[in-house]
Amino acid sequence: MTFLPLILLALTGPQQSAPTFHAHIQDREYVEIRYQGKEKQNAVGRFMTAYDISDPKKREETYKPYLHIIDPETGQAITKGAGGEFTHHRGIFIGWNKLTVNGKTYDRWHMTGGEQVVKEATANHSLSSLGQSTYIRAPKIVWTGTTRDEILIEESRTMHFIPAPTGAFVQVDFTSALKAVGGDTVFDGDPEHAGLHFRPTDATDRANTVYLYPKAEANAHKDRDYPWVGMTYTTEGRKYSVVMLSHPENPTGTAWSAYRNYGRFGAFYKTAIKKDETLKIQARFVIYKDELPSPETIQMLWNSYAKKRETLVASTRKAAEQPAPKK
* Secondary structure (H, E, C), 226-294: CCEEEEEEEECCEEEEEEEEECCCCCCCCEEECCECCCCEEEECCEEECCCCEEEEEEEEEEEECCCCC
Say yes or no to pLDDT of 69 above 50: yes
pTM recorded for the entire structure: 0.92
User: Is the predicted pLDDT of residue 129 greater than 60, yes or no?
Assistant: no
DSSP 207: G
130 falls in which pLDDT band (50, 70, 90)? Answer: low
Would the pLDDT of 2 be above 80? Answer: no
Query: What residues contact residue 286 under an 8 Å CB cut-off, 6+ apart?
Result: 164, 165, 168, 170, 171, 242, 243, 245, 301
**Tens of pLDDT, residues 186-229:** 999 999 999 999 999 999 999 999 999 999 999 999 999 999 99
Edge-to-edge order in the sheet of strand 168-179 = 2-6, 116-128, 131-144, 151-161, 168-179, 278-289, 238-246, 228-235, 210-213, 316-319
How confident is the model at residue 275, as a pLDDT?
A: 98
Q: Do the bridges between strand 2-6 and strand 151-161 make them parallel or antiparallel, or are there none, so unpaired? A: unpaired
- pLDDT over 60 at 7, yes or no: no
What is the mean predicted confidence (pLDDT) over 266-290?
98
With b meaning 16 or more CB within 10 Å and e meaning fewer, what string describes 118-127?
beebbbbbee
pLDDT tens track for 240-249: 999 999 999 9
Strand partners, 210: 232, 319
163 burial class (0-12, 13-18, 19+ CB within 10 angstroms)? buried
How many residues in the chain?
327
Whole-number Å distance between alpha carbons of 234 and 290: 9
pLDDT for res 107: 98
Residue 127 has pLDDT above 60, yes or no: no
Provide the pLDDT for residue 11: 30
Q: What is the pLDDT of residue 34?
A: 80
The pLDDT of 251-258, averaged and rounded, is 98
* pLDDT tens per residue across span 10-27: 332 234 444 455 667 776
pLDDT, position 4: 39
- Detail the DSSP E strand segments found in 129-167: 131-144, 151-161
| pLDDT tens, residue by residue, 92-124 | 999 999 999 999 999 999 999 999 999 999 888
pLDDT at position 214? 98
How do residues 155-180 score in pLDDT, each as one tens digit? Answer: 999 999 988 999 999 999 999 999 99
The per-residue pLDDT for 33 is 86
Confidence tier at 135 by pLDDT (50, 70, 90): confident
